[in-house]
Amino acid sequence: MTAKALTEVKPQLKLSSRLKVPVWKVLDHSFGLWDRAGAEKAARLVNEFKEYEGGFPVVTLFGAKLKMPGYLRNFVLVRYDSPLWPRFYNPPFSCEGKTILDAGAGFGETAAYFISKGASKVICVESDPLAVKLLRENALRNGFRVEIKERRFELGDLDHVDFAKIDIEGGESILVGKGRVEIPCVMETHAGVVKSALCQDQGFHEIYRANERLSLVANYS
């Protein structure tokens, strides 16, 4: 593997793609003109990552070397979200020998976590083509025991697995009104109304709140 540092990232003053108004851009993310400090903080975070392969950042998570898409959210995920997974993403039993559903599998970051805990197989559901491409590469490189489904999450994905982690950027609304999930499940919710429906009617409860919109819910203690 050839490692190299990306050219230093700095906030760039550009027009937003949709509204055509001035914004600060850091990679794929836009910050309002009033949030220069937020844009500079994001750029500093990106510049902490020094190893690249084929233009993609390379990170080490849970003993696995992973290439990831260079979206700002992935840099944030690796630095701030992944340390929370041992606290919130464990099923109520050992992962040893279990089959795990990873809906919203990204580039294989949470699959790496579950495999490090002894899962015998991770079923990865991911619809982003670039993420799937890197997921396949990462699985091959690290010898992951995975089944990759390049599409959106479907209710049938909950069949024949022992535990589910669901983080599908709002797609979790498909579960509302469909009855209780019969297996242990942890899920990221992206709208208060969805969280309320899951908690009131389907046996979930909030285990972590990042902000008013974003929470983790689970259906087990």
Per-residue pLDDT of 88-142, as tens digits, reads 999 999 999 999 999 999 999 999 999 999 999 999 999 999 999 999 999 999 9
The answer on 118 and 42 residing in a single domain is no
Q: Evaluate whether 195 touches 179 at the Cβ level (below 8 Å).
A: no
Pairing mode, strands 64-67 and 56-61: antiparallel
User: pTM higher than 0.85 for the full model?
Assistant: yes
The answer on 100 and 40 residing in a single domain is no
Looking at the DSSP assignment, which residues form a beta bridge with residue 52? Answer: 57
The mean pLDDT of 156-172, rounded to a whole number, is: 95
Domain-embedded: residue 2: no
The answer on 198 and 92 residing in a single domain is yes
Across the chain, mean pLDDT equals 93
* Percent of the chain whose predicted confidence (pLDDT) is above 90: 85
The answer on 115 and 197 residing in a single domain is yes
The answer on 128 and 212 residing in a single domain is yes
The answer on 115 and 36 residing in a single domain is no
The mean pLDDT of 17-21, rounded to a whole number, is: 86
Tens of pLDDT, residue by residue over 63-87, are 999 999 999 999 999 999 999 999 9
Distance CA(154)–CA(88), nearest Å, equals 23
- pLDDT, residue 5, reads 52
User: Count of domains in the chain?
Assistant: 2
Domain-embedded: residue 70: no
CATH assignment at residue 200 = 3.40.50.150
- pLDDT, residue 131, reads 97
**Structural domain of 30:** 12-50
Neighbours of 54 (CB within 10 A): 10
Is 1's pLDDT higher than 50? no
